[in-house]
Homo-oligomer: A and B are copies of this chain.
Amino acid sequence: MLSSRFAVAVHVLAVQAVMSDRVLTSDFLAGSVNTNPVVVRRILGMLRRAGLVVVQPGPGGGSRLAKPPNRIRLAEVYRAVEKGELLALHKSPPSRFCPVGRNIGGVLAEIFCDAEGALEKALEKRSLDEVAAAIKKCAAAGK
């Protein structure tokens, strides 16, 4: 299983999309995520480097979205916080004395690349405003 960074990243971005009029501190966001502010700051740092949020230190500081939610694809978020390695190759390299062992690496690499590409493509179709809309809908229904 992967890290939960992607889930937390989408979470904090969704909070910022829903409360787009405010600048939110890592303390506040950590309250919603139910974790330590440092965990949130680590992830905000990755999102900042990916150009998805703008962060300002100092009193009254915090973070806000760098662009409107409908222009933030979940695939961007995914790539910002996860290092693309999803499916793993062998821990120690296979035998070079076996035709399969010698060549399986290249064959698998191509297959893995294709499969991971399909996952990213699915995330490419989703944008942050869909997430925000779904949450507003839940909230409006009294949930």
Contact = CB atoms under 8 A, between A and B. Distances in A.
Interface of A: 1-4, 6-8, 10-11, 14-15, 18, 31-35, 74, 85-95, 98-104, 106-108, 111, 114-119, 121-123, 126, 131, 134-136, 138-139, 143
Contact of A118 (B14, B86, B121): B121
Nearest to A4: B88
Nearest to A118: B122
Contacts of A118: 118-119, 121-122
Given A95-B32, A99-B139, A123-B115, A1 B4 contact: no
Given A4-B91, A8-B90, 7 more contacts: A1-B86, A2-B2, A7-B89, A34-B90, A34-B95, A107-B134, A111-B126
B2 A99 contact: no
A139 B96 CA distance: 12
